[in-house]
Amino acid sequence: MAFRAGLRSMSTATRSSLKIGLLPADGIGHEVIPAARDAILALGSTIPKPEFISLNAGFEYFTKKGVALPEESIDVLKNECDCALFGAVSSPSKKVVGYSSPIVALRKILDLYANIRPVVSVAPTPGEKPSVDLVVVRENTECLYVKQEEITPGPNGREARATRLITERASRRIGTMAFDIALNRPRKLLTIIHKSNVLSITDGLFRETVRAVPANAEPAGKYDEVTIAEQLVDSAVYKLFRDPQEFDVMVAPNLYGDILSDAAAALVGSLGLIPSINTGDSFVMGEPVHGSAPDIAGKGIANPLASIRSAALMLRQLGYSDGANRIDKAVDEVIREGRVLTPDLGGSSKTQEVTDEVLKRI
């Protein structure tokens, strides 16, 4: 995976240890988070000694305890952990009284306002330019994901409404994050994704606020090298499949970013390859993009590579680029060789077999 530049590192103050919260949550999260943990352990002295803290969250926990995100997990993350890894969450398609997604809650509680999802293909030959190399920067706290919905009676039967929230503050923060990432990548191209031709107020505010980031940057001229482009979200999906090389960094409101990054995964073969981090200014949480995959949970065939890559992204955000690069290189080699892969990539190997192959190369 060639995502070598773009993230702005958090403080790298000297640590004797690195406390990492582990929240496998639901489904295959219990199978892939241990793989990420083992990849971090394989780095040895490259990073401060990792200390892992297992924490509860998820729909499965909710069915047993009546709460999806216990206060204890929140307190430990806030007061004891330097970072965290989240596995996957099951989201029931019908409303379940008392349940709400713990990952959505954590993003708000910890102010993890940016979800950064690099989508990079593995070139056949080391050093060769990948055919797909883009980053989706997704606003993480607003849009329709504020989950303010209601059903009321009406002349045509029940009427369902949802509130879509876009604020100037959130748009400016995610825009600044996206400009920073674009500035530190070779192409320095930022595409703003919106639908302001229809949603002129909400998407209009997002578009205008992001475009205004360079004018308010300090020092003045900081982003002069970044080229700004725009794309309507529907045509962006079309172009993503027809010509992914057109994109470098894409910044989008919550819902659009979610859809675009999942769609982009098809360009590189599987959701099981796409990592992400949820990050703010003082905390970072790695999270593979794939879901809880209940159809394969417990079968030992889940792809651990997205989780392992998410651990690398998390470490890079914390300033441990050497360790992150070692993990990325090992994953690239396993994919390039193609001998030990899970079924989603056309192979027949088990989760642990793929994990072991990566660990050997780290």
Of 108, 222, 262, 356, which residue is the catalytic one? 262
- Tell me the HSE value of 239 on the side-chain side, using a 13 A CA sphere: 15
Which residues are within 8 A (CB) of 338 and not within 5 positions of it... i.e. 6 or more apart? Answer: 347
- Distance between CA atoms of 252 and 85, rounded to whole angstroms? 23
**Residue 135, SS3?**
strand
234 carries an active-site annotation = yes
Displacement of CA 222 from its chain's centroid (Å): 26
195 carries an active-site annotation = yes
Of 19, 26, 113, 195, which residue is the catalytic one? 195
Evaluate whether 257 touches 115 at the Cβ level (below 8 Å). yes
b/e sequence 123-145, b meaning 16+ C-beta within 10 Å: beeeeeebebbbbbbbbbbbbbb
Of 234, 299, 322, 360, which residue is the catalytic one? 234
145 carries an active-site annotation = yes
Give the DSSP per-residue string, 81-133: -SEEEEEE----SS--TT---HHHHHHHHTT--EEEEEEEPPPSSTTSPPS-E
- Distance between CA atoms of 141 and 106, rounded to whole angstroms? 10
Of 19, 82, 113, 145, which residue is the catalytic one? 145
Would you call the peptide bond into 130 cis, given omega within 30 degrees of 0 as the criterion? no
Evaluate whether 180 touches 249 at the Cβ level (below 8 Å). no
- CA distances (Å), 105 to each of 41, 78, 145, 260, 355, in order? 28, 13, 10, 22, 30
Kindly report the backbone phi and psi dihedral angles of residue 22, in degrees, each rounded to the nearest multiple of 5, phi listed first: -115, 120
- Distance between CA atoms of 25 and 102, rounded to whole angstroms? 9
Of 26, 38, 82, 258, which residue is the catalytic one? 258
Structure tokens at 304: 């651990």
- CA distances (Å), 106 to each of 11, 70, 86, 89, 332, in order? 21, 11, 10, 12, 30
> DSSP secondary-structure letter at 245?
G
262 carries an active-site annotation = yes
Please give the positions annotated as active site.
Answer: 145, 195, 234, 258, 262
